[in-house]
Homo-oligomer: A and B are copies of this chain.
């Protein structure tokens, strides 16, 4: 078998890449191209095995890893599906804020304050891999649980990938922002890195979140990535953690 040869570059200490990794890369490429959209099913393991001229087991191992990374979701008896931010189970996948008491019964509700097109600052451009001349979209919003304002988010998006995004569309939308990005712009966030700090609430934020100036807030700086580790969003959140906490599992 193995139509796909091990790496063509025969450099000394040639990088060895197992077949299933190559299959994995091909699958990620197809995902990024949009061959299968979020929520849809991908071809069956046997079909993919035939397409790539490998055994079912090899395809299986590739899919296993992609499922472990939450790019795909396996459903026994039904098929394998492209992960989406729309489904109930995984909505707000990246939001780790939980109520101290109950299991987060109160539904999140967002109010959008601002949506503007700007030149990328140096910091933003560097992280999003843009040039200084490129434009970014800047968004500001408040998330409330029940009626209590809890999170102030500032968001930066690369202008090219999110053409036509306006505050009207944001206000009309409901449900998770990442789901909206999927269906409206074909951008599926797959992974994110966060850096957390405790900071004091400044005067403007105090007004927006309805807390005293100086109140300790949890500052969450996030960079989100699509397929292939392409950075597509910067987000800075300020969380009021009086009745909520950020949960995290370590292993």
Report A's interface with B, CB cutoff 8 A: 68-70, 93-94, 96, 98, 190-200, 214-219, 221-222, 239, 241, 245-251
Contact = CB atoms under 8 A, between A and B. Distances in A.
A195 B249 CA distance: 9
Contact of A196 (B214, B215, B245): B245
A194 B249 contact: yes
Given A214-B214, A216-B200, A194 B248 contact: yes
Q: Which of A196, A218, A219, A247 has the most CB of B within 10 A?
A: A196
Contacts of A218: 196-198, 218
Given A70-B251, A196-B218, 10 more contacts: A96-B250, A191-B251, A193-B247, A193-B249, A194-B249, A196-B246, A197-B241, A197-B245, A197-B246, A222-B250
B248 A248 contact: yes
The 5 tightest CB contacts between A and B, nearest first, are A216-B216, A198-B216, A198-B198, A197-B241, A196-B246
Contact of A68 (B68, B94, B214): B68
Nearest to A200: B216
Contacts of A217: 198, 216
A248 to B, nearest CB: 5
A10 B251 CA distance: 35
Contacts of A195: 98, 245-248
A167 to B, nearest CB: 27
A251 to B, nearest CB: 5
A219 B98 CA distance: 15
